[in-house]
Amino acid sequence: MQTPEPVNGFASNGHLMSPRAQDREKIDIVGADAEEHDELVEAGVDLDEEESAISAPGRQTAPEEGYTDLYLDTINRKVLDFDFEKLCSVTLSNINVYACLVCGKYFQGRGPKSQAYFHALEEGHHVYVNMETKKVYVLPEGYEVMSKSLDDIKFVVDPQLNREEVAKLDKEPKISWDLLNKEYIPGFVGMNNIKANDYFNVVIQALAHVVPLRNFFMLEDLSNRPQLAQRLSTLVRKIWNPRAFKSHVSPHELLQEIALRSSKRFTLTDQSDPVDFLSWFLNHLHLAVGGSKTKSNSSIVQKVFQGTLKIESQEITARADAGDRLRFEDAAVKTETTKFLVLTLDLPAAPLFQDALEKNIIPQVPLTTILNKYDGLRPQEKMKHRVRYRLLHPLPPYLLFHIKRFSKNKFVSERNPTIVTFPVRSLDMSPYVEPNPKLHPPGEPIWYDLVANITHEAVKKKDDSVEGEQETKVWRVQLRDRSRDEWWGVQDLFVEKERGETLFTKESYIQVWERRRTPGANSKGKTKLT
C-alpha cells in the first residue's frame, strides 16, 4: 500500500510533521525520479537545456520585471580573451563551452549539474556567453540576456564583416582603439609569440594580406569545412577586427590544430623553418577548403598561387671532349611541365675572404640576377643532370619567392648572408616567361608589386657550452598598407613603421608579389585582370 503524501506539513495520521521530517519525505518521493534523471544522463540524453521539474530547481526563462540588466555591471571586458582554444577549464572538453564574462574562464554546459552552474554559485559570477551561438545567459537563474550592450562582446567572440566593409579595408584608412585606449590599425596588429612560434606568425601575417585569400576567409561560410579552415578564418577576421578589445591577437587555437594535423611537426614550442611550414600549410589548406588532389585550380589557394613551370633536363655524360659540363647537347633533352606554389631562388656563394678594401663583408645581389634561374637559357647542375627552367603563361595572381639561405650537409648547417636588393614596385617578370602570343602580347611587361617580405636575423646569444656563443633565428615580416601606401614591420607583438626604400637591407627569406591589375577590354566591355 502506497504511503499518502503529506499535505501542508501534516502526515497521513493528521499529526504535524517537523521541518526535517518534511524534507525527508520530499527526498523519498523524488528519489525515484532523480535516479531516472541520472540514468538518462548516463545514456547520453541532453538535459542541459530543459531539466526535469522534479530533479532540478525551477529556472527562469526571462528576468523579473525591472531586472533586465541585472549582473551586467559585473562584466570585465579587460580580462576577456577569446583567442585561446575553447576548452572547459575543468573537464578539458570542447563541447558546449561557455565563457564567464566576469573572469574569462571557460566552462562546459549551463545546466544545474554543469561546471558553469557551480562556478556561478561558488564565485558569484553570473554572466556567461555560449562560444558557438554567442547567446548570453545569467546563471544560476538560466535565462537569456537580450541587451544591445553585449553586442561588442559577441562581435569580438566571432568578428563578422560584410562585403562592403571588407571592400573598404584597402581603400579607406582606418584607425581603431582598444580598451586600454591604445591606437592600432586593423590588419597590422601584433601576434603573440607563445614560446617559439614566430616562424608561424610571419607566414600567417603575410597570407592575411593576400587580398583574394583574405576576402575568401573573411566572407565565406566555412562551418562545414575542417577545423584548419575554420580556425584560419577566425584568426584572419580577428587580425582585421576594427573593434577589438586588445591591439594584438593570439594564434593559439590555430596552432593547436596545426600541431595535431602535422603530428607535432609544427608546434608552438619548437621553432621551424617558415618555408617548410608555408609549403605544408598551403597544401593542407587547399584540401581543407575543398581542393582536389589531382585537378589544378580547384581551390582558392591554387587559384591565387599556383603557376606552371617548364623543366628541360639532360643527363651529364663523362665525355673527355666535353669542354662545358653544362652545355646542352642537341639530342636527349627531356622536357616536362610541373605546377608550383613557391619558387626557390638560389643565392651565389658568399666569398670566403674579404677583398683589400673590405667591400665584400656583406655581399649584395639584385633580385633580377637570381631570377635568371628561370629564363630558360642558363643551365644548372642538379645531381647528375643539367637542367633549365622556364615559367609558362599564365602567371598566377601572386608569386611566392623563397630565397634559399640555409644549406646543410653531414657536418654543419650554413647560412648565406647575401643581401638581395629589389624594388618594392614594378618588378617585370616577362623575361622569365616563355612567350605565348595567345595568352600575352609579346614584349609587353608583366608587372608585380611587393606585398609582404619575411626577413631573417641571426642574433647571437651566450651559451655555457664549449662553443660559447650560438646564433638564434629571429623572423620578422614587412607588410604593405595599401590604404596609406606605407610599410609596417611586425615582429611578434611589436609593430612599427618602416621605409620602403630600406626594406632590402634585411635578409629577405620569403617574398609575396602581387600581379598588377591592368585594364583591358574584353567582349563584355568589363575590366579584365591580366
Residue 42 has pLDDT above 80, yes or no: no
Query: How high is the mean pLDDT of the chain?
Result: 83
Nearest to 299 by CA among 285, 318, 278, 309: 285
Q: How far is CA 509 from CA 154, 244, 373, in A?
A: 39, 31, 17
Query: How far is it, in rounded angstroms, from Cα 9 to Cα 28?
Result: 15
Task: Summarize the confidence of residues 396-423 as an average pLDDT.
Answer: 90
Confidence of residue 329 (pLDDT cuts 50, 70, 90): low
> Is 13's pLDDT higher than 80?
no
Would the pLDDT of 456 be above 70?
yes
- Asked whether 477 and 488 are in contact (CB, 8 A), the reply is no
Residue 407 has pLDDT above 80, yes or no: yes
Query: What is residue 504's DSSP assignment?
Result: G
Q: What is the pLDDT of residues 459-514, one digit of tens each?
A: 877 655 545 457 789 999 999 999 999 999 999 999 999 998 889 899 999 999 99
Per the CB < 8 A criterion, the answer to whether 250 and 493 are in contact is no
**pTM given for the model:** 0.82
Return the higher-pLDDT residue of 26 and 248.
Answer: 248
Mean pLDDT lowest among 27-31, 228-232, 333-337:
27-31
Cα-Cα-Cα-Cα dihedral sign, residues 381, 386, 390, 396: negative
pLDDT value for 526 = 36
CATH class of 72-156: alpha beta
Query: Is 45's pLDDT higher than 90?
Result: no
Maximum CA extent, the chain: 124
Q: How far apart are CA 22 and CA 472, in angstroms?
A: 73
Q: Is 369 exposed, middle or buried (0-12, 13-18, 19+ CB in 10 A)?
A: middle
CB atoms within 10 A of CB 304: 21
Q: Percent of the chain, pLDDT > 90? A: 60
pLDDT at 84: 87
Specify the pLDDT at position 198. 94
Residues 6+ apart with CB under 8 A from 366: 420, 421, 422
Query: Is the separation of the CB atoms in 425 and 511 below 8 Å?
Result: no
Could you read off the pLDDT of 112-133 as tens digits, one per residue?
A: 989 999 999 999 999 999 999 9
Q: Please indicate whether residue 342 or residue 313 has the higher confidence score (pLDDT).
A: 342
DSSP 8-state class, residue 180: T
Peptide bond into 397 cis (omega under 30): no
Lowest mean pLDDT: which of 5-19, 30-44, 233-247, 425-439?
Answer: 30-44
pLDDT for the residue 70 = 78
Whether residue 322 has pLDDT greater than 70:
no
Name, in order, each residue with C-beta under 8 angstroms of 398's C-beta and a sequence gap of 6 or more: 210, 212, 304, 305, 451, 512, 513, 514, 515
Q: Angle at the Cα of 283 (from 278 to 284), degrees rounded to 5?
A: 100
- pLDDT for 468: 47
As a whole number of angstroms, the distance between CA 205 and CA 274 comes to: 12
Could you tell me the pLDDT band of residue 319, with boundaries at 50, 70 and 90? low
Backbone angles phi, psi at 501, to 5 degrees: -75, -15
SS3 35: helix
Task: Check residue 2 and give its pLDDT.
Answer: 47
Count the neighbouring beta carbons within 10 Å of the beta carbon of residue 228.
Answer: 20
| Cβ atoms within 10 Å, residue 39 | 10
